[in-house]
Structure 1
């Protein structure tokens, strides 16, 4: 760890959810990048719990896209955007071989700051082949170039007694103003229990931390609107016991517009 995180803003968060009644529909789209697939394949599976929201992968859950199989996802994201049916316009064009809009979705900017801070309390999955992740991704509704990503964490499931690790950093994707910089950090705790992950970004810097300590500091940051995504993936063919789960306990965020526009 690289020292203590900056304190959270003294002002109340402009986005907050403890999931006591499930995902707030004024804040979340409960599907994974729905423009690139069909509604039944994008739809998240989840259940309410006294400690938060239990993201699930169920035994009968379809693959996100047949072309990506085997891959199943339950995801929440703070907005949506796509171009017209059949186009290549849409949020998070993460595949190098291209994606085309299969389901046209409206522009919904439910929480899409260009700079700010977000704190996410989660318990990662302990289930076979699963990964819990949280990303801030460029909405791309103003420009396809606005597609960079702040990877707050990607945590692969671990069996009892194994060391947990997290991947964090910035991914440029198709944004030539950014440089992909990812690291993998050994975690000195059991990530299957509750921990608070933080991203602070803006003014040319990104800070990623956990439980009040800095994990990574980068001298770059996207400066355009970003959606928050929280995802539970099952990567590989179905096996083991179901449902496979991870817990999202709470999310709170403070957003602002970017101060500097880069060319």
Structure 2
């Protein structure tokens, strides 16, 4: 983190979307499933509970793996829309697995919030629970163009990387977008990420700025220029173990859409 470079201020207007998760995820904004088209509803469904400070994403002892092919991988995710092709097709949001994803549960095109440029602020508390990762991404919807598939990785925080200081991953992933170049970095954070903290991404017009706690972490000279869904998720990536439920908190999300 560069303590000398402040993030640009938020727009001087109310956010276009805002959720502090009072009463649970706002159904006008969130789909509480992880990429449901690539799997079945029992496997994609998020587990969560409301708390005084926000929404606690959970991985529970009886939670199934996201896909049988990806065992062990369990996840509770919120995303701001869905898109897929028909059953048996390979068309759908976030074709991120190299082993060939196929649509198992067709989903409607729901663009609950899918800005092509904008600003997002996400306040979270990560987890030290064994084998877990808390992450937030903006991913190409692909509903108009299968090459509109790039990703802004706002953050990925492994439980094992959290201590008095924390290491996180952040940057751009090209996936199937030939106009982007994957550019990911590990960044040091001078605090324990299990405490509440706010990530910010501002993107558009060929630049992506990612920051944390009001300071710039990365300035990248590229950005996706097409609709993106926001995804916030808790993963258990390793074999089941430790104490359940495993949990991380999403305290608040705010977002503004900009013109391209």
> What is the DSSP-based 3-state SS (H/G/I as helix, E as strand, rest coil) of the residue aligned with 1:103?
coil
Q: Deviations over 1:231-251 (max 9, x none)?
A: 100001110000000000000
The one of 224, 236, 239 equivalent to 2:238 is 236
TM-score normalized with structure 1 length: 0.96
Structure 1 residues 165-180: aligned runs within 5 Å: 165-180=167-182
CA separation in 2, counterparts of 1:103 and 1:159?
A: 35
Aligned to 1:104: 106
Aligned to 2:256: 254
Segments of 5+ residues of structure 1 without an aligned counterpart are 259-263
Aligned pair count reads 258
CA separation in 1, counterparts of 2:106 and 2:259?
A: 27
**Structure 1 stretches (4+) deviating beyond 3 angstroms?**
158-163
Aligned to 2:144: 142
Segments of 5+ residues of structure 2 without an aligned counterpart are none
CA separation in 2, counterparts of 1:86 and 1:146?
A: 21
> What is the DSSP-based 3-state SS (H/G/I as helix, E as strand, rest coil) of the residue aligned with 1:40?
helix
Q: Deviations over 1:65-121 (max 9, x none)?
A: 000000000000000000000000000000122100000000000000000000000
Offset, 1:161: 4.2
Is the 1:134–1:151 Cα contact (8 Å) retained in structure 2? yes
Aligned to 1:74: 76
User: Cα RMSD over matched residues?
Assistant: 1.0
Is the 1:88–1:99 Cα contact (8 Å) retained in structure 2? yes
Q: Deviations over 1:48-77 (max 9, x none)?
A: 000000000000000000000000000000
Aligned to 2:196: 194
Offset, 1:164: 1.5
Aligned to 1:154: 156
Aligned to 1:117: 119
Aligned to 1:50: 52
Is the 1:158–1:164 Cα contact (8 Å) retained in structure 2? no
